[in-house]
Amino acid sequence: MDAENTNHEALDAAARVPSESDLETLSRQLNRPVRDVVEIGARCICGNPLVATTAPRLSSGIPFPTTYYLTHPVITSAVSRLEAAGLMNEMNAELGENTDLAAAYAHAHEAYLAVREAIGERSGTGPVPEIAGVSAGGMPTRVKCLHVLVGHSLAAGKGVNPLGDRALEDIAEWWTKDICRCTGAWDTQAPAPSQDRSRHVKTQAIDPALKKAERAAARAAREAAALESDAASPKGTEV
Ligand SMILES: [Zn+2]
């Protein structure tokens, strides 16, 4: 790993700053208004956003473990194809057998947490104890969402998340980082989806991906609590 990548962020500070035009592009890519995006995690060679970075606590106060959100429609649909083809099952099986891979993947989890903490600092969120130790996408031991891993790989640069890197290699026929695939990938003509035009600002503020992430965080917290109480109570005392 080269020295440049020890902070696990592909873009430098200036390139991470989202412009108004970036936010509009994100809204067009996702076909909904984006919220709580604090940085751009990765960009196309043309400059368009590939990954939106969300702070670990939303402006509503809700803890948000999923830092990187893949937004580019060409990449998201290519990754969906890999998921549909069963790649996550293969990866989970391999994680159970290949200890080197499992160790590298566990390291990716740590890198994810470290950079999320840095993003929390930069964005003014500060520490978010509710999601301490909880990353995303199934890390550190499972693969539950390839989009999360690919988002991490793009934002971190190659060599940080082995399974995200592998998924990127597997979508090479549809997208590679050296070729711009933006033209026609989203509607650039219609008005950008805007929260000002929305009649349902409150309900849209919590979109399905966000709800899913919240449930995952709550589940992880419960599992962690259960593990602790298992460790604390002697075996055979369950009723
Ligand atoms: Zn492009």
Taking the centre of ligand 1 as the mean of its atom positions, its distance from the CA of residue 13, in whole angstroms, is 20
In this prediction, residue 219 has a pLDDT band, given cuts at 50, 70 and 90, of confident
For residue 227, the model assigns a pLDDT of 58
Q: What is the pLDDT of residues 28-82, one digit of tens each?
A: 999 999 989 999 999 999 999 999 999 999 999 999 999 999 999 999 999 999 9
Taking the centre of ligand 1 as the mean of its atom positions, its distance from the CA of residue 175, in whole angstroms, is 11
Residue 118 above 70 pLDDT?
A: yes
Residue 212 above 50 pLDDT?
A: yes
Closest CA to 24 of 34, 9, 13, 39: 34
Structure tokens at 60: 């509503």
For residue 190, the model assigns a pLDDT of 82
Taking the centre of ligand 1 as the mean of its atom positions, its distance from the CA of residue 222, in whole angstroms, is 41
Instruction: Name residue, tokens 């590939």.
Output: 50
Question: What integer best gives the mean pLDDT of the chain?
Answer: 87
Residue 236 above 60 pLDDT?
A: no
For residue 206, the model assigns a pLDDT of 45
Residue 102 above 60 pLDDT?
A: yes
Q: Which residues surround ligand 1, an ion (CB under 5 A)?
A: 44, 46, 48, 180, 182
Taking the centre of ligand 1 as the mean of its atom positions, its distance from the CA of residue 161, in whole angstroms, is 23
Instruction: Name residue, tokens 């991490």.
Output: 152
Strands 49-54 and 37-43: antiparallel
For residue 217, the model assigns a pLDDT of 72
Taking the centre of ligand 1 as the mean of its atom positions, its distance from the CA of residue 214, in whole angstroms, is 31
Taking the centre of ligand 1 as the mean of its atom positions, its distance from the CA of residue 181, in whole angstroms, is 5
For residue 216, the model assigns a pLDDT of 72
Lowest-pLDDT range, 5-19, 79-93, 126-140? 5-19
> What b/e string do you get for 6-18 counting C-beta neighbours within 10 Å, with b at 16 or more?
eebbbbeeeebeb
State the average pLDDT over residues 84-96. 98
In the chain, the percentage of residues whose pLDDT exceeds 70 is: 80
For residue 195, the model assigns a pLDDT of 61
Taking the centre of ligand 1 as the mean of its atom positions, its distance from the CA of residue 119, in whole angstroms, is 25
Q: What is the pLDDT of residues 120-155, one digit of tens each?
A: 999 999 999 999 999 999 999 999 999 999 999 999
d(CA 80, CA 129) in angstroms, rounded, equals 32
Residue 199 above 50 pLDDT?
A: no
In a 13 Å sphere around the CA of 231, the CA atoms on its Cβ side amount to 6
Taking the centre of ligand 1 as the mean of its atom positions, its distance from the CA of residue 180, in whole angstroms, is 4
Question: pTM here?
Answer: 0.80
For residue 213, the model assigns a pLDDT of 66
Taking the centre of ligand 1 as the mean of its atom positions, its distance from the CA of residue 101, in whole angstroms, is 32
- Return left, alpha or beta for 18; rule: phi > 0 is left, psi -120 to 50 is alpha, else beta: beta
